[in-house]
Amino acid sequence: VKILSTIVALLGIGLFAGCSSAPPPVYDYDQLADFSKYRSFDWLPVQESSDAYLTDRLKRAVVMNLTARGYLQGGAPPTLFISVKAGGADAPEALVLTMVDEDTKRRLWEGSMGFVPPHGASPNDMDKACQNAV
Amino acid sequence: MAVTAIVVSVNNRNYHYDNGVYYEESTNDSGQKGYVAIPAPIGAKVPSLPEGYETAKAGSNTYYYYGGVFYTKDTDGKYVVVQGPVGAVVKNMPDGAKEEYHNDILYYNYNGVYFQPKSANGATQFQVVEHP
């Protein structure tokens, strides 16, 4: 839980540093889950309504963070599935990260963050914000 | 709709089929006629499936799958739309499948067919499951 919480906290701090109106990240998780057993992950399909560019940025940032912490993507069966939703009709001005147990399909952890792009941010700014955050 | 579309009839209703997608005639508020994409009608029979279709097993039966729709092969070699067979595993889930949680368990719903992700053969695939 600590690792997962840290990831989202880092994403929140970095991505939203320029978004003073964005509410702080919130998350919830299955308190009975043993998070130490999860060592590999794969992505769930991106929902059509999710902002494609922002979704890709976040996915890259999460991959970098998780692989740096020893999580495997590819080359090993995933024990976690992760979905990212970024903006769109289902979650306007929000980012939602969800982690699901591969075996039971149970939602283990979910964090959401308000997201309002900094005024005038260029694509490069957005890239840097994600990279710096993670 | 493309000129290559063909007419398929199910229970005396005509639909149009083109490249894995089904359409029916529709009239908009201005009275203009056109075509709208619809879920594949169960029982529709088409002569061929687009490139990229998959085969999937459920029990001892073989199914053919494209764009979220399952088919069986009829004795005349044509493909017949059937209900999603529970247990079938496919590589691709169609765009438009909606993520849903029921009692905190993840499902994807595509036109009433429910899928769950699973790790199989080194990749994430999708298995048809009972309705939650």
Span A57-106, pLDDT tens digits: 888 888 988 888 888 987 788 899 999 888 766 666 778 889 999 999 99
Cross-chain CB nearest to A107 (options B98, B104, B118): B104
The ipTM, to two decimals, is: 0.83
CA trace torsion A112, B114, A42, A55 (10° rounding) = -40
Compute φ and ψ for B120, nearest 5 degrees: -150, 135
Please enumerate in sequence order all residues whose Cβ is within 8 A of that of A122, keeping only pairs 6 or more positions apart, or say none: none
Cβ-based contacts under 8 A for chains A and B: 42
Cite the beta strand spans of chain B per DSSP E: 6-10, 13-18, 21-27, 33-38, 45-46, 54-58, 61-66, 69-73, 79-82, 89-90, 98-102, 105-110, 113-120, 123-129
Does residue A16 or residue B51 have the better pLDDT?
A: B51
Q: How near does any CA of chain A get to the CA of B118, in Å?
A: 6
For B69-130, strand residue ranges (E) read 69-73, 79-82, 89-90, 98-102, 105-110, 113-120, 123-129
Q: How far is CA A26 from the centre of its chain?
A: 12
Min Cα–Cα distance to chain A from B91, Å: 12
> Quick one: angle between helices A52-68 and A2-15, nearest 10?
130
Put simply, the answer to whether B106 touches A106 (Cβ < 8 Å) is yes
pLDDT tens-place string over residues B25-44:
999 888 898 999 999 999 99
Segment holding A108, helix H or strand E: strand A107-114
Of A43, A102, A105, the CB nearest to B105: A105
pTM to 2 decimals? 0.83
Question: Which residues of A, range 85-114, sit inside 8 Å of B by Cβ?
Answer: 100, 102, 104-107
* Cβ-based interface (< 8 Å): residues of B facing A: 93, 95-99, 101, 104-108, 116-119, 122, 124
Residue A79 near residue A37, CB atoms below 8 Å: yes
Which residues numbered 37-76 in A keep a CB inside 8 Å of some CB on B?
42-45, 47-48
Please report residues of B whose CB lies closer than 8 A to that of A47.
98-99
